[in-house]
Structure 1
Amino acid sequence: MRPDVRHALLALALVASGARAAAPADQFAQAYPIKATPGAPAYVVPLPQDAYSWTRPERALADVVVVDATGQQVPSGLYQPLQSVSRPVTLRLPLLAVPPAEAGSPGPRIERSTNGDIVIQPGNDNGPALVKEWLIDARTPINLSQITFPPTQVSDGADAQLDNVSIDVSDDLQSWTSLIRQATILSMGRGGNASDVSTVKIEGATGRYFRVRIVSGSVHWATAGEATATLAGRVEEKLGADDSVRQWLDVQPTRSTSSGQGVDYDYELPAALPINALRLKRGSDAVARVDAASLEGDHLSESLGTLVVTAAQGDDNTTLTIPAGRRQALRLHSATPLRDPPQLALGWVPDRLVFLPEGQAPYRLLAGSRAASRPAWPIADALAGLRKQQPEGWRPTEASTGPGERLAGEDALAAPNAPFDWTRVILWVVLGLGVLVVGGMAVSLLRKPPTGPREDP
């Protein structure tokens, strides 16, 4: 092959590959540059407000992707923040003695205070009987792995003290679940060099309250709150730092119509935003009560609740939390006429996309497409793997977007043109050819001389 031909084919291949890399951008309405600090293993970026005007609610944000500098998509998906993180703890907690009850008399009453603390009210005057039951308040639900008891007093002259204990768990001090039916603990006396055996291993135990009962033996733990047990396990710590901040958008009614004795106020939103709260501010009316609903066209589609504001509310506003969902239009109905239209603010939390920085930076967020979709990347699995490699409590690095850049605009959302129907054309061509063939045959027959015998005059 000649060198100039090889060069031409190479150039053609480069052009074709560049066109393929840039093809996704041609199918999207809007692009936003992503500002991110280099070097992070994953990034999370919130969708800007105007991106919602290009995405269709029925597509559930599948028409939002992240691309690198060459236009190729990088792994991305909707971000689901961790609600909590599990961390190991070791707690040293008091053993609360439950007074023994005398035969025939009511036993002690065990209750919880308003903050959940254990309150033990004896049922009779405590006698000299040994305590057989102890309670432990972990203050928070703990997934217990082991519990270590204090040593007990060994009888004079004995080398060791053996005791068997059972352990139960509860969340309310009423219903108990058995964890250990019988475990042996050992306290050494003056003989031998062996150490005490006071740790009991536990599996599958999660709860706040633990009950220890002496099955056999007699422990001499302190009964005035000095005795302590050591609990080891893991607790779930709620994460609030990873939650998105609610934003507020003030909207004005686009029209008002009489409805019975009241008035309907319709609000057209700038985009189908994921609204989760409504806030109403009182105008010059002493009191206002409105019923909120979402609109689909001219019809009510979902009742959202009632908002009431009065002059005695201090800041003159009230907030109604509603199920999160994308809504394009709302209606407030007041059963009584209002002096001023309701002043409505919409609370919404931007959706966030998490992406892995493959390819070449800088990255862009593309939004709005009828044809293109984001693949089902295994993002959840990727984040789970990263969390195992990173320090406890790790989360993707925050990124932001710059001003939007128009790409295909409305053309990316428009339905594709119907393919040209060649059937009619082919049919007319065939009919025309048929007419020409028949006409040619007729002309040929008319021009052909007669072949029969001629008669003499």
Structure 2
Amino acid sequence: MIGKSRPCWLGIMGLCVALSALAQEKPTDYSTQVPLSLSGEGPWYRLELPLSLQLSARQSDLSDVRVFNAAGEPQAYALAREQAQATQSHSLTDVKWFPLYNSADAPQATPSVRVKSSANGTLVEVSPTGQQEAGEEVLRGWLLDASAIKAPLQQLVLDWSSERDGFQRFSIEASDDLQHWQDWGDGQVARLSFADERVEQHEVALPGQSARYLRLLWQSPQAAPALSSARLASSTTSSLPLPLAWSQPLAGSSAKPGEYTWQLPLGLPLEQVRVELAQANSLAPVTLYGRQDGNAPWQTLGSGLLYRLTQNGQDVVRDQLQLPGHAVAQLKLVVDQRGGGLGAQAPTLRFAVRSTQLVFLARGEPPFSLALGNPTVKAANLSLSTLIPDYSPQRLAGLGKATASGGAVATLQPPVVAVTPGPDWKKVGLWAVLLLGVAALAGMAFSLLRKPQV
């Protein structure tokens, strides 16, 4: 009897192997496939995942992303999302500021100054090159001494005299020698009184570059306010965050005045949102909420003051909110109606996520393809240090490059298991045979136990 049980065990093992083969992944298990073109030196290749491709996934953490070769064999890969973390450490440093004056007859001219500095480059004195009579000079801006900060500058924080309310708009220039200046764009701060409340905006984003000196020249109004403090936030990370990838405009809906909702294609870790302010002279204190699905409670993501105001013939716009990077699939914007609201129809909204890089080890014959869109598969990505044994952040930039060929996305039929209603009779039959085999084996064991010992 014991000898006859061996064929049963072999049959059970064969059935298990057959069931395992059914679970083997194939390119056709995914709803979207994109051909990849390779350039540079392999065998590792780096692919910047466009947001349009990320939206083709069916799992918010991109667990259903795969790379296949020409034979349909999956490739080992890693998602380089740890490079998209914000920053490892920040510092906020108080800096010295020096006034920049202009003649009242030529307020648009760049102030000409005479500078004294110490041996290490720290500014000691900044004065006009020419003497002007009292009452003829205009405070045009400020020169900030950032020579003591060696890390890239991320943010400027200003405070100014209380008698100057409203918006303050100025240009930002950077220099290392006080002779050659690089344009860093425009900055804007504000202090507003609204419905017995005071709304203040002190922070201005900087491009994340190093500079010894900053020059701020006021544009609107042309005369600068008296500063009471100036601070610079810097980052000490060795690598900057990956850039933001912005979505196309997303339509929303409104169930009641002052509340607007948007449904995202899937849960995404949002870094910023931009709300369209279609009407001029819009002023809206807002709070943004998010959640993963309709059954979860709303969680506060951020708040702020959105506006589009016309000043001196120009639009002054603030339409973005910074978010903490939590994964959400639904958004709700609640507007304080005392500012006039944003209208009965929901404004369009664009969202931004950090770019994601996929690195894979090319094995087998090309062409290679990227596959996405399967709600049931498990994550298969490795860590970068496992995929590339001598990995370093510097080496990541030197890997070969993979790109989606022509940007064409081939959408296939979803996997049969995901769309076919009713039971899968093939799997049911296999499981039934397996269970019958186990039952037969148990019966044989039971009969052996009942047999009298000789």
TM-score, reference length from structure 2:
0.48
Larger Rg: 1
